Structure 1
Amino acid sequence: MTEVIGGDRADARRNRAKMLSAAGDAFAEQGLDVPLVEIARRAGLGAGTVYRHFPTKQALLEAVFTQHLDELIASGERRAAQSAATEAFFGFLLDVVEKSKRREHLCDVVAADASWPRPMLTASVLRFRQVLTALLHAAQRAGSVRADIGPDDVVALTVGCVSMLASRRDRAAGHRLVQLTLDSLRPSAVVTEGQYFRDSPDIRRDTVTFCAECKAPLMVRPTGRPVRYCGAACRQRARRRRLAS
């Protein structure tokens, strides 16, 4: 009797794994409207088996998304244990982007439905944040990530990278954009401060102007001659251009 029960449990685990795999592929290919009977067909199981495990579409969505997060968590923990801090952090972010590019529909439903996340998903979300934060802080201590970056910044950038990669047919071009975006987290990255974007309506034109050569922001001096260039290099380039003309 024990062996039969054990066999039943093993079959149930295998069936559940088939359902989650089939559901993940179906949602990625056809969106969230795909019926449970189609998922059952893809998994090679009867519809009744699917309904016994997941009585509602929302329950199945939660399980698929939880499994996805758990896989990312395992990836982050492996990298933390086996790699240096910098390699572990950026490698983890690339894992998240690459493995999430076909899960946009799931992200949308979780973000849009106020009843999410449920208890099972809540635990995975919390653990994911813990792993991400630990990797981020380790990379910051190693000096490879800007000190003013927080976990929320990383999550926002990563979500943007997922969208960029998913929308690009040219895989190489998509990965290049992702790499450029993630490189902005490094200390050497030069990021324009929000109040100095050229087209921002918040710029105070009486206190900020721009280099006549490279368009970098310049602070207007209260006294003396107006500043036209950000430095000697731009001043010399402008002079050579005048002489050439």
Structure 2
Amino acid sequence: MAAARADARRNRETVLRTAMCVFAEEGLGVSLGRIAQRAGVGAGTVYRHFPSKDILVEAVLAEHLESLVGAADRWAARAVPGEALFGFLLEVIDTSAGRLPVCEAITTDGSWPRAVLGAAEQRFHGALERLLRDAQQAGAVRADVRVDDLSALLAGGVAMRSTHRDQTRGSRLVRLTLDALRTPPVTKAFRDRPGKPRHETTAPRHCAECGARLPVRPTGRPPRYCGPTCRQRAHRRSR
């Protein structure tokens, strides 16, 4: 009895792995018989675990999300919060790029079964939220970023990575996009030292008429003359 259950579990896992590859290579129009052939099992085995293609497609995507939840846990355990989040986001995009046909079909058609996929989506978003919260608390990610922002960026990143003709440049664009999430560097503001006159570096130090040393003013326009007498004398001479 236990051996039969183990065989059934292995057959189900084999069908799931094969279906993901076949859907990515040949599209969703492929038949369950074709998937059974590629998996090396009988068609009855496929139908016993997945009575329809819709259920199989949903199970394939749910399995993918569950694997990503495990990846989120691994990133959280081996990296600092900011790098854990960005490493996870890049892994999601890289591993999902080859599954674009399945992802697009299941997310754009509301008639697909949702019970299994919905539970997997909740666990995925929970893992994503934990990574985001830790990264924000560490000051590595902008405070105004939300989980639904990350979900939108992931969908866009998968599309960018999949459709770009140059895979290297596509990956570079994805990284540039994700960098916008990082906390901007703090620019140090340089202020005058206490007691230093505002115009010390540019203001004249001596009267332009008599040469006497000018008084230092902490605010306002710097003087050019030591007093009214020199100012009037300079104005008369200029006239």
- Provide TM-score, normalisation by structure 1: 0.73
Deviation at 1:35, TM superposition (A): 0.5
Q: Distance in 2 between matches of 1:104 and 1:97?
A: 10
* Percentage identity across paired residues of the two chains: 50
Correspondence for 2:163: 167
Counterpart of 1:221?
none
The one-letter amino acid of 2:104's match is D
Q: Residues 43-122 of structure 1 correspond to what in structure 2 (within 5 A)?
A: 43-116=39-112, 118-122=114-118
Among candidates 6, 12, 20, match of residue 2 of structure 2: 6
Matched, 1:151 2:165: no
Q: Which residue of 2 aligns with 1:179?
A: 175
Q: How far apart are 1:171 and its partner, in Å?
A: 2.2
Query: Stretches of 4+ moved more than 3 A in 1?
Result: none
Q: 1:124 aligns to what?
A: 120
Paired residues in the alignment total 185
Find the counterpart in structure 1 of residue 233 from structure 2.
Answer: none
Q: What's 2:19 paired with?
A: 23
Which structure would you say has the larger Rg? 2
- Matching of residue 34 in structure 1 with residue 40 in structure 2: no
What displacement does 1:170 show?
2.3
> What is the aligned-residue RMSD (CA, Å)?
1.3
Mind listing any 5+ residue stretches in structure 2 that lack a counterpart?
186-239
- Structure 1 distance, partners of 2:114, 2:161, is 28
Question: Relative contact order (C-alpha < 8 Å, sep 6+): which is higher?
Answer: 2
**Superposition deviation, residue 116 in structure 1:** 4.1
- Distance in 1, matches of 2:105 and 2:164, equals 22
- Partners of 1:21 and 1:137 lie apart in 2 by 32
The letter of the residue matching 1:104 is L
- Corresponding residue of 2:210: none
